[in-house]
Amino acid sequence: MSEQASIFAPMRYFLRIRYKGTAYHGWQIQQNAHSVQAEVNLALSRILRQDIDTIGCGRTDTGVHADDFYLHFDVETPIAETKRVLNRLDTMKISGIQFRELFEVNEHAHARFDATERAYEYRILRERNPFWDGLGHYFFGELDIVAMNTAAAMLLGKKDFVAFSKAHTQVFTNICTVRHAAWTEQNGQLIFTIRADRFLRNMVRAIVGTLLEVGQGKRSADSIPEILAKGNRSDAGMSVPACGLFLTEVIYPETILGQSLQNESEGK
């Protein structure tokens, strides 16, 4: 960085993307693995002609998809034409990644820590369809959807979800507040939607696996409170495959998404 540039505070931007996780080892950069973050960092660095290190709104595991994902990064000078940068990102045709929106935020805005809510969907495919290969988990057999929704309702509220978390993860708390959890049937698919202020690693996939066991009659719907109370991962069901999991929405305060909302209202 030049001496002149160093006297200016960096500018922070949010970038909104979506990606198909099939060919990636998750969002986060890893040694000897292909990640979404590595691709995005490289693309931004080439276009903006400076080293760009992004911070995502969370981490998705290998094979997990994101229909709505935010990241932030800093630059030394303002980006004069964000639309032009988006167009250049699009012309790079990075496999499985779409660049949707780029806008300036205040210097303290944080893609991960400022998110107030996230939503995930898990898609169970009830019939074979080649167009959905890699985008859902095929599951055959009878399922009691009423019982599964009864069990899902018992997840609501502020609770300790360590029983549904991958072991030995470094988090400051296992407490999450689940605001919505329900199954719906749509076009030959069974879709589980869950919204919460935060999620633990592997949490949604472990919950879905447990609820499927309820649907099969392998456990009762009222076993969920006991699983939560005991806090043992071995008491919950097996985790379902990553291919059916989608991050579908990330919510931020309007104070952060002000420029994005303005662009939307102006049709930009």
Q: What is the DSSP letter of 10?
A: P
The CA distance from 51 to 234, in Å, is: 44
Per the CB < 8 A criterion, the answer to whether 209 and 166 are in contact is: no
Active-site positions read: 61
What 3-state DSSP class applies to 53? coil
Cβ count within 10 A of residue 188: 13
- Candidates 120, 121, 182, 127; CA nearest to 150 is 182
Pairing of strands 137-138, 117-125: parallel
Task: Output phi, psi for 228, to 5 deg.
Answer: -65, -40
